[in-house]
Structure 1
Amino acid sequence: MKEIKVIVADDSALMRKLISDMLNSDENIEVIKTAYNGKDLINKIQVEKPDAITLDIEMPIMGGIETLKEMRRMNCLIPTIVISGVSHRNTTLTMDCLHYGAFDFIAKPSGGMASEIIDIKKQLIEKVKLAAYRNLNLYETKSVISKEEHKRIDNNVKIQAVVIGASTGGPKALYKVITKFPQNMGVPIFVVQHMPVGFTKAFAERLNDNSSIRVKEAEDNEIYENNVVYIAPGGYHMEIGSNGRISLNKEPPIWGVRPAVDKLFISASKVFGSHLVSAVLTGMGRDGANGTKIIKDNGGITLSESESTCVIYGMPKAAYETGKVDIVAPIDSIANEIIKITTDIRR
Structure 2
Amino acid sequence: MSALFLQVMVVKNKIKVLVVDDSALMRKALRELIATDPALEVAGVARDGKDAIEKAREIQPDVITMDINMPEMDGLTSMQYILNENPEIPVIIISSLTRDGALATFEALALGAFDFVAKPSGTVSSNLYIVGKEIIEKIKLAYKHANRTSLKNRIRTRSSFSKARDAEDWAKSGADRSPELSKVVVIGVSTGGPGTLMDVLPMLRADLRAALIVVQHMPPTFTSSFAKRLGKACPFPFKEAEAGDVLADGRGYLAPGGYQLLVHRDGRMLRLSASPVTPFMPSVNVTMESVLRAYGGKRVVGVLMTGMGDDGADAMVKIRAAGGVTIAEDESTAIVFGMPRAAIERGGAEIVVPSYRIADEIVKAVHLC
TM-score, normalisation: structure 2: 0.83
Alignment gaps of 5+ in structure 1 = 138-157
- Which amino acid in structure 2 is aligned with residue 294 of structure 1? K
RMSD: 2.0
Corresponding residue to 1:123 among 134, 137, 141: 134
Match of 1:308 in 2: 332
What per-residue deviation string (whole Å, max 9, x for no partner) do you get for residues 237-284 of structure 1?
A: 111223211111122443x21111000110010111111111110111
Q: Does 1:299 align with 2:323?
A: yes
Q: Which moved more, 1:37-46 or 1:181-190?
A: 181-190
Match of 1:142 in 2: none
Match of 1:198 in 2: 221
Match of 1:67 in 2: 78
How far apart in 1 are the matches of 2:350 and 2:145? 28
Q: Does 1:333 align with 2:333?
A: no
Superposed displacement of residue 287, structure 1: 0.7
Secondary structure in 2 aligned to 1:284?
coil
How far apart in 2 are the matches of 1:135 and 1:29? 17
Superposed displacement of residue 209, structure 1: 1.4
Q: Does 1:219 align with 2:230?
A: no
Q: Does 1:178 align with 2:178?
A: no
- Determine if contact 2:313/2:348 at 8 Å carries over to the other structure: no
- Structure 1: 4+ residue segments shifted above 4 A: 111-114
Superposed displacement of residue 28, structure 1: 1.0
What per-residue deviation string (whole Å, max 9, x for no partner) do you get for residues 214-240 of structure 1?
A: 221111232223211111111111112
Secondary structure in 1 aligned to 2:188?
strand
Secondary structure in 2 aligned to 1:308?
coil
Equivalent pairs, count: 323
How far apart in 2 are the matches of 1:260 and 1:206? 21
Match of 1:320 in 2: 344
Corresponding residue to 2:90 among 79, 82, 87: 79
Match of 2:145 in 1: 134
Corresponding residue to 1:28 among 35, 39, 44: 39
Superposed displacement of residue 311, structure 1: 1.0
Superposed displacement of residue 72, structure 1: 2.9
- Determine if contact 2:188/2:312 at 8 Å carries over to the other structure: yes
Structure with bigger RCO (C-alpha 8 Å, 6+ apart): 1
Superposed displacement of residue 75, structure 1: 3.6
How far apart in 1 are the matches of 2:94 and 2:77? 15
Secondary structure in 2 aligned to 1:286?
coil
Alignment gaps of 5+ in structure 2 = 1-9, 149-180
How far apart in 2 are the matches of 1:275 and 1:180? 21
TM-score, normalisation: structure 1: 0.88
What per-residue deviation string (whole Å, max 9, x for no partner) do you get for residues 131-171 of structure 1?
A: 1223699xxxxxxxxxxxxxxxxxxxx95110110111111
What per-residue deviation string (whole Å, max 9, x for no partner) do you get for residues 43-92 of structure 1?
A: 01111111101000111121111112212322443111101112211101
How far apart in 2 are the matches of 1:280 and 1:25? 33
Q: Does 1:263 align with 2:263?
A: no
Q: Does 1:168 align with 2:170?
A: no
- Determine if contact 2:320/2:326 at 8 Å carries over to the other structure: yes
Match of 2:300 in 1: 276
Aligned pairs (5 A) from 1:41-56: 41-56=52-67
How far apart in 1 are the matches of 2:60 and 2:182? 50
How far apart in 1 are the matches of 2:349 and 2:41? 40
Secondary structure in 1 aligned to 2:18?
strand
Match of 2:368 in 1: 344
Superposed displacement of residue 310, structure 1: 0.7
Identity of aligned residues (%): 39
Secondary structure in 1 aligned to 2:282?
coil
Corresponding residue to 1:16 among 23, 27, 35: 27
Corresponding residue to 1:230 among 253, 257, 272: 253
- Determine if contact 2:97/2:120 at 8 Å carries over to the other structure: no
User: Aligned in 2, Cα 1:39/1:76: closer, same or farther, shift over 3 Å?
Assistant: farther
How far apart in 1 are the matches of 2:247 and 2:272? 13
How far apart in 2 are the matches of 1:194 and 1:69? 25
How far apart in 2 are the matches of 1:127 and 1:109? 16
Secondary structure in 1 aligned to 2:368?
helix
- Determine if contact 1:253/1:260 at 8 Å carries over to the other structure: no
